[in-house]
Structure 1
């Protein structure tokens, strides 16, 4: 077997991320099966109920993620899964690697095969890209947090956010209810950043963070003054980003506590010059 790198989910050392999942997610498995087999399983009729063993192979490099989803899919079919690698392992790209064994009735193995592989592949793919972004940012000297977004696949968000965490990045907010995010259209509709923050604080109270999307340093300054916890410098790059962040920190040092976030146009090739040491 090829050499496999150890688990590297170092944002959560020694912890089982599956423990974060809510009990309600397991009902998604029934929905996935209802979509994939809405009536008769014609081919399953052919193979019958003889006990068989299937091998899960890793054929392309990446971070293994999605173990609890894979397990639950086959548990639903009374199959047993034996993992040969822990979640978070980096599977090499230069050869086939035996990842897990699944035992059960032949028709059940085939019934769950595509649902399980699709879910595991999607989750692992997101973990792999997340790990790559994190490592690129570290190589550039970035000491802050690399985070995901809410731009997830409808109905599949929990799996995708889980993949981000296994990959070693922050999942950011999970939905509209988990943090207040005031974007340009919210600000336009209320007339100003200050008006938007004042209005939302009346209903959100003190326990929710308020994150405000800002187009320049002046907007960020207004947001901080009005009580924003996080200012997102949107689509600002290079020296402009570094200068704005430095000026805001200097102006409000010792007066206001806030975080600076940058978003928009962040791809692997744009990390250089976008982030800087200690910012």
Structure 2
């Protein structure tokens, strides 16, 4: 059976090496204090959330000659129902893994692993919540993230979206042609921008065009856009535009309709999730997302 880790490229572990080098670029003063005696540490989850980022944590400790034994599969929703017995009511403390290895190495990997796990799990949790809200609102289409990710940390954040169950959207500028307002203004028209892109992108790349009105959407469809993104529209305007586009041009042109801009858990059901729309994309699942709280404690 495939795991999410099988998505990761061959080169990704070098990123983990860079993280460790950044966190300890010279002397390890704390490591001198504790030495390298064989030890174990308990990884605790202290807030509810989806467990995501397991391969990154494994790689951190593998590079430090430590081993991680997980008690939950990646993608599992950790809840207070799984608490250890002596936790106060309303609190969360769930033992999710045990890490073993030299004491110094456990602490060398501690913060790098926790930061990565907390961020990735937070994005997975927000993604799952957004997808659940969309389904509860009767929306059957695609819920996706965006490219508004943290430089140098995109792999982890996109990975978290996938574990959370949403579409990661395009990974980078090379993954899909997205023509936004600046592209259109720079070339003079939507038609010109699409035609210019198509000449070099070929058949294997979709072209997604951002539009702000029905007339611009029509121009994008006629130009041959594969996806028409209705940007910052909501409510009746969004739904009417999407339905008119589908009714008037759906028979003669093949295209997807995407809604984007200002979509959050609070605004999701406010006209953004009509099933005439194929894709709802949002950065709310990975920007300003609350982390899931984890801690690592040496057993004693």
- TM-score bracket for the superposition, by shorter chain length: over 0.9
1:247 alignment counterpart: 244
Does the 8 Å CA contact 1:179/1:209 hold for their aligned counterparts? yes
* Unaligned runs of at least 5 residues, structure 2: 81-90, 277-300
Does the 8 Å CA contact 1:224/1:256 hold for their aligned counterparts? yes
Q: Does 1:197 align with 2:194?
A: yes
Q: Does 1:73 align with 2:60?
A: yes
Does the 8 Å CA contact 2:66/2:101 hold for their aligned counterparts? yes
Q: Does 1:175 align with 2:175?
A: no
In the superposition, the TM-score normalised over structure 2's length comes to 0.87
Aligned-CA RMSD value: 1.0
1:9 alignment counterpart: none
Q: Does 1:258 align with 2:247?
A: no
Which shows bigger deviation, 235-244 or 248-257? Answer: 248-257
Give the number of equivalent residue pairs.
266
The separation in 2 between residues aligned to 1:79 and 1:44, in whole angstroms, is 15
Q: CA deviation at 1:277?
A: 4.7
Q: CA deviation at 1:203?
A: 1.1
- State how 1:115-126 maps to structure 2 within 5 Å: 115-126=112-123
Does the 8 Å CA contact 2:53/2:74 hold for their aligned counterparts? yes
Does the 8 Å CA contact 1:143/1:278 hold for their aligned counterparts? yes
The separation in 1 between residues aligned to 2:197 and 2:274, in whole angstroms, is 34
Map Cα deviations across residues 112-131 of structure 1 (whole Å, 9 max, x no partner).
00000000001000001111
Residue 126 (structure 2) aligned to one of 125, 129, 132? 129
Does the 8 Å CA contact 2:263/2:272 hold for their aligned counterparts? no
Higher helix share: 1
* Unaligned runs of at least 5 residues, structure 1: 1-13
The separation in 1 between residues aligned to 2:2 and 2:272, in whole angstroms, is 29
The separation in 2 between residues aligned to 1:21 and 1:90, in whole angstroms, is 22
Q: CA deviation at 1:201?
A: 1.0
Map Cα deviations across residues 61-111 of structure 1 (whole Å, 9 max, x no partner).
000000000000000001010000000011114431110010000000000
1:141 alignment counterpart: 138
Which shows bigger deviation, 106-115 or 251-260? Answer: 251-260
Does the 8 Å CA contact 2:40/2:100 hold for their aligned counterparts? yes
Q: CA deviation at 1:167?
A: 0.4
Residue 103 (structure 2) aligned to one of 83, 102, 106? 106
In the superposition, the TM-score normalised over structure 1's length comes to 0.93
